[in-house]
Amino acid sequence: MTWTLDAEQIPALARGAAVLGTGGGGDPHIGALLAAQALDRHGPVEVVSVDDVPADARVVMVAMMGAPTVMVEKLPSLDEVVTPVRALEPFLDGPVTHIACAEVGGVNSTIPIVAAAAMGLPLVDGDAMGRAFPELQMVLPTLAGVDATPMAFADDKGNTGVLTTVDNAWAERIARVACVEMGCSVMIAIFPQSGAQLSQTMVAGSLTKAAAIGQAIAAARDANEDPVARAVEALGGRELFGGKVVDIERATTTGFARGRARIEGDGGALELSFQNEHLLAQVDGVVLATTPDLIIVLEHDSGEPITTEGLRYGQRVRVIAAPSDERWHSTEALALVGPRYFGYDIEAHRFDGEREVA
């Protein structure tokens, strides 16, 4: 299936992507602004289902890499988004034919729209995570044995680089230190793949899903219904907790926005731990949800997604859990994105829609 994405659809898509982005991927308003600007200038973008991408297509994922705390202060120009794709092309066996998203998230679902619009290329309806994760290698293509490199990166000053690494963890390590040195925010083009590989390596339909979630939230507001309940339904998720943000600790270290937030409500206090994305939700030491499942924070009444860098003292929020793509629960996948990888000494929970709120 192929559909046309125009500027009018952007707010819903960006909002829904920020919901699926589990707190990461940058500010959805900024993402929306960028994408709308690109669609205005270059016209609408054709969105193609994973199944309809030709087997010999040359697909490249485009994203912004860095700390979201910095991303929100350093908007890329349209040209900057295209630069890493052009820098990568000499390393491929021909020009790029399709753009794809590495993750869903406020900025990283819309940056690929910018690239597709500016380059006049179709965009794949899918992403490589079905959520957002903080490191480059944390994608389904890694599990499927696809190389992250050759990958290209570019900053706002005009510096570019192309890496070829022995594994995807090395791509992350080298690109991360370069990204930090270049100002904690670079544009990347990564994971070149053929169309034939996508069925193994993508969460299909995630742009459509993001748009549907964003629309459900907007529709509930218009109908004076509960947007959070509608989002939970659209996600196939469960509301874990509601309350007020009473404490936030955060630090931007080694290129990531790390921290914790404490939310007090009727059921006690919920502690959220994050590294760009929300990774762990606990109430009084009882673990309610963990990475790789989705932990989502929505504004209490409006259902507006709140990113990790957008968390503020006094906000009234509701915390939601939703199941991740099933592939993230294999032993191999949990080694890549499970709680222990991030330094939390606990087992990964598996989303359970039936479990009572603690």
Chain residues binding a second copy by CB under 8 A are 87, 90, 157-166, 170, 173-174, 176-178, 180-182
DSSP state of 130: S
Nearest CA among 248, 297, 288 for reference residue 268: 288
Residue 161 vs 227, nearer CB to a second copy: 161
Nearest-angstrom CA–CA distance, 358 and 349 = 15
Residue 110 vs 137, nearer CB to a second copy: 137
Residue 169 vs 357, nearer CB to a second copy: 169
- How many Cβ atoms are within 10 Å of 118's Cβ, its own excluded? 21
Residue 51 vs 181, nearer CB to a second copy: 181
Q: At closest approach, how far in Å is the CB of 188 from a second copy? A: 13
Residue 149 vs 273, nearer CB to a second copy: 149
Q: At closest approach, how far in Å is the CB of 120 from a second copy? A: 24
DSSP state of 285: T
Residue 180 phi/psi, 5-degree rounding, is -60, -45
- How many Cβ atoms are within 10 Å of 183's Cβ, its own excluded? 16
Q: At closest approach, how far in Å is the CB of 227 from a second copy? A: 44
Cα angle 276-300-220, degrees, rounded to a multiple of 5: 110
Nearest-angstrom CA–CA distance, 68 and 75 = 11
Q: At closest approach, how far in Å is the CB of 157 from a second copy? A: 5
Its sign, for the CA torsion 187, 67, 33, 208, is positive
Q: At closest approach, how far in Å is the CB of 175 from a second copy? A: 9
Residue 138 vs 186, nearer CB to a second copy: 186
Considering only CA atoms, give the Rg of the chain. 19
Q: At closest approach, how far in Å is the CB of 25 from a second copy? A: 25
Q: At closest approach, how far in Å is the CB of 182 from a second copy? A: 7
| Buried/exposed 139-175: b ≥16 CB within 10 Å, e otherwise | bbbbbeebbbbbbbbbbbeeebbbbebeebbbbbebb
Residue 157 vs 354, nearer CB to a second copy: 157
